[in-house]
Amino acid sequence: MLENKNACLYNKTMNIEIKNRNYTPQEKLQILADAAKYDVACTSSGSSRRGKKGELGNTEACGICHSFAADGRCISLLKILMTNHCAYDCKYCINRASNDVKRATFTPEEICELTIEFYRRNYIEGLFLSSGVLKNPTYTMEKMCETLLLLRTKYHFNGYIHVKGIPGASADLLELTGYLADRMSVNLELPTADALRQIAPNKVRKNILSPMRQLQNGIRQSREFHGVSSMKSRMYLDEKTYYNQMAEMKESYARLQDYHDGIAAIREHKARQSAVQSWGEEIAGGENSSRVRNVQKKLPQTTRGLMRPDHYFVPAGQSTQMVIGASDESDYQIISVSEALYQKFEMKRIFYSAFINVNHDSSLPDLPGPPLLREHRLYQADFLLRFYGFRADELLSEKNPNFNEKIDPKCNWAVHHLELFPVEINRADYYTLLRVPGIGTKSARRIMAARRYAKLDFSDLKKIGVVLKRAVYFITCKGKMMYHTRMEEGYIIRNLMYQERPMQMLLSDGTVQTYEQLSLFDDRGKIVV
């Protein structure tokens, strides 16, 4: 495997000696699966149940998480760290070098065997592999790449693999890993460079952005060769872009055929050159000479068999992660950074991790608990940026830098722009429909298709999938609202807050009154007469 001697430039502590105890693979799995739970690129499982006689199925808690395929399927993944040894001392991380925790390291063979055994038992459909920084970034990336290479070649594993790229690692290793994995991610960790310097002093912002750019360029070149549009255009807002993408995909077979024809031409050309050297014949350039030169330009400089244009490079795109609440950035700063990442690096997804002060470090904020509701609002805003055509400065501003945690960002935007509402369902364009709370991308496209044949009313919208309890304040059908609704900001906010918190009632004077659902039984389970 490749080794870049110049990769270790941070400090001398990176070349620490790693001493492993004689843990069994099961003990390593428990340690490293638990250490991986703070990587939030998927949803965790945490359920363990043994099989019973006469019953079907069982579950395994260690390291099982879930992701979602493009077609909506839920995919189970083996989620582990290769090692929780780390040369870095990030203040928010449980695996920081200064922490006294159990340390373990998987060998590439052990990870492969675990993955295959879990797959054979139908526990998983893929692998999510991350790691602490063992010795130095390039050494760590080398071991992770070796793991993927063994899985793909020796064990012939063709399932889904998501692997974390290590900032500062060799560019050659990142490239090779990109041809072996389905998705790669490089964690941004913190929204701003200042916060990164204060909380993660061993990490450099430039070393994080450089592999992001490398992955972006590799993905773009691979998709262009295969006739597939970039990741950004796949996050289409209208049907026109979608059908344009489909037209581009129809050219994929022709491009691949040209590539293979060119490879054959190169082989023929080399054979003729070999004959010239052997027999002293002078062969003039034929009709294939120009094609040979063109294909040679497309071929990567490396001679590795896997790193070829006809192989997809990170076909599922790249993602990243930010820790929310460890530093004092506002929601506006966070979504502005997210917007820049989507636009400049063509991210597939950005994940937000609510900060948990696991180290109880005095330099970190002392929060009563992880800001889960704030994390939820950021995810909602993230969807608005990706699929609904919103901009960060539309949702928030420097004067209003944080989201209202009581209502979702789309509703919050709508109640502050009541001059744009109500919207007539039977006349509004696609982008206007997307701005209405309760109308998503699917329901907007269904409305556009259905109203070609008849004028829609509220019963039709319910069948289409519109969430009327939110949309009712902002739409009309055939010129009429569903109910007599006051277009007043305070009135609409109170009703929307009531829907967000069904166990609390906000009265007109601002006080909150709790209530409980009527029941046929009292607290002791007896029937109430």
CA dihedral 206, 209, 215, 221 (to 10 degrees): -90
SS3 269: helix
- Among 185, 217, 247, the domain boundary falls at 185
Instruction: Find, among 118, 129, 107, the residue nearest to 20 by Cα.
Output: 107
Predicted pLDDT at 388? 92
Task: Identify whether residues 466 and 384 lie together within a single domain.
Answer: no
Mark residue 346 as left, alpha or beta (left: phi above 0; alpha: psi -120 to 50; beta: remaining). Answer: left
Whole-angstrom Cα distance, residue 386 to residue 232? 9
| HEC secondary structure over 426-442 | CCCCHHHHHCCCCCCHH
Q: Is residue 358 part of a domain?
A: yes
Q: What does 398-457 look like in DSSP terms, one character per residue?
A: SSS-S--TTS-HHHHHHHT-GGG--EETTT--HHHHHTSTT--HHHHHHHHHHTTTS---
Segments forming the whole domain that contains residue 429: 418-514
Task: Identify whether residues 503 and 354 lie together within a single domain.
Answer: no
Task: Identify whether residues 452 and 379 lie together within a single domain.
Answer: no
Task: Identify whether residues 334 and 476 lie together within a single domain.
Answer: no
Q: What is the total residue count of the chain?
A: 529
- Among 136, 157, 185, the domain boundary falls at 185
Task: Identify whether residues 398 and 432 lie together within a single domain.
Answer: no
Whole-angstrom Cα distance, residue 106 to residue 227? 39
For the chain, residues with pLDDT lower than 50 are 1-19, 44-47, 61, 231-237, 249, 276, 278-304, 502-503, 506, 515-529
Q: Is residue 287 part of a domain?
A: no
Q: Judge residue 297's burial from the number of C-beta atoms within 10 Å of its C-beta, 0-12 exposed, 13-18 middle, 19 or more buried.
A: exposed
Task: Identify whether residues 395 and 441 lie together within a single domain.
Answer: no
Instruction: Find, among 461, 474, 467, 433, the residue nearest to 237 by Cα.
Output: 433
Q: Is residue 429 part of a domain?
A: yes
Whole-angstrom Cα distance, residue 115 to residue 128? 10
Q: Is residue 502 part of a domain?
A: yes
Residue type, 467: V
pLDDT tens column, 343-370: 999 999 999 999 998 888 888 998 888 9
pLDDT tens column, 25-70: 888 988 888 888 777 665 544 445 566 666 555 555 456 777 766 5
pLDDT tens column, 467-488: 999 999 999 999 999 988 889 9
Question: E strands along 148-239, which residues?
Answer: 160-164, 183-185
CB 262 within 8 A of CB 292: yes
Task: Identify whether residues 41 and 176 lie together within a single domain.
Answer: yes
Task: Identify whether residues 146 and 17 lie together within a single domain.
Answer: yes
Task: Identify whether residues 28 and 76 lie together within a single domain.
Answer: yes
**Residue 161 vs residues 78, 132, 148: alpha-carbon distances, Å:** 9, 18, 8
Q: Is residue 271 part of a domain?
A: no
Q: Is residue 126 part of a domain?
A: yes
Residue 258 has a CB neighbour count (10 Å cut-off) of 15
Task: Identify whether residues 137 and 34 lie together within a single domain.
Answer: yes
CB 225 within 8 A of CB 309: yes
Predicted pLDDT at 65? 72
Percentages helix, strand, coil for the chain, rounded to the nearest 5? 40, 10, 45
Task: Identify whether residues 435 and 387 lie together within a single domain.
Answer: no
Instruction: Find, among 170, 161, 110, the residue nearest to 139 by Cα.
Output: 170
- Among 354, 375, 402, the domain boundary falls at 402
Q: Is residue 108 part of a domain?
A: yes
Whole-angstrom Cα distance, residue 187 to residue 200? 12
Predicted pLDDT at 90? 94
SS3 74: strand
Our count of domains for the chain comes to 3
Q: Is residue 299 part of a domain?
A: no
Task: Identify whether residues 450 and 385 lie together within a single domain.
Answer: no
